[in-house]
Amino acid sequence: MGQLSRFWRESEHRYRLLGTRCENCGRVYFPPREVCPTCHRESIGKMKDLELSGEGVIESFTVVHEAPPRFSRQKPYVLALIKMEEGPMITGQIVDCDPSEVEIGKHVHAVFRRMGEDGDTGVIVYGYKFALD
C-alpha cells in the first residue's frame, strides 16, 4: 500500500470529497488543483476549497474481472465515471447493488468506505465509493 503519509495527506479530500473552486471562472475541480486549467496564472491564489455534495450521475461504467491483488477480494466490481452535480467527473466504484442494476444515466450518491489495508497489521485506508439512489 505504501507510506502512511501518502494516504494521510489526501484523507481530507477523500473523506469529505473536498475539491477546489476557481474564484476567477467558477469552475469546480476534483481532485483539488493549485492552478485552474482554464485561467492559468489568473487563478493563482484564487483556488478555494469546496466540499462536493456527493450527488452525481453515471457517465459510464465497467464490471472489472481482472484486477490488481489489492482488489482481488472485491472481484467482480463495478467501476464508474460519475458526473458530479458541481461539474467535475470522479472515478469510483459503485457498491451495494448487483452489477446488472447499474446503468448509464442513473443517479448515485457518495458513500464512505474502506478502500484497503496495508497487510494484516498495517493501516486501513478509507475513501469514497458510490451507491445507487
Q: Which is nearer to other proteins, 48 or 75 (CB)?
A: 75
Q: Which three cell numbers stand for residue 15?
A: 473523506
Task: Using the minimum distance from each CB to other proteins, give the nearer residue, 47 or 61.
Answer: 61
Whether 15 and 112 have beta carbons less than 8 Å apart is answered as yes
- The reply to whether 90 sits near other proteins by the rule CB under 8 A is yes
Q: Single out the residue of 35, 64, 111, 123 in contact with other proteins (rule: CB under 8 A).
A: 64
**Residue 3 touches other proteins, criterion: CB under 8 A:** no
In angstroms, the CA 54 to CA 58 distance is: 12
- Closest CB 19 distance from other proteins, rounded Å: 11
Q: Output 23 or 79, the one with its CB closest to other proteins.
A: 79
Q: Contact between 131 and other proteins (CB under 8 A)?
A: no
Write down the least CB distance from residue 70 to other proteins, Å.
7
- For 3-32, give the DSSP string: -HHHHHHTHHHHHHTEEEEETTT--EESS-
Contact 46, 24 (CB under 8 A): yes
Tell me the one-letter amino acid at 30: F
φ/ψ of residue 41, rounded to 5: -65, -20
Q: Which residues bind other proteins (CB under 8 A)?
A: 10, 31, 37, 59-72, 74, 76-77, 79-81, 88-93, 104, 115, 127-129
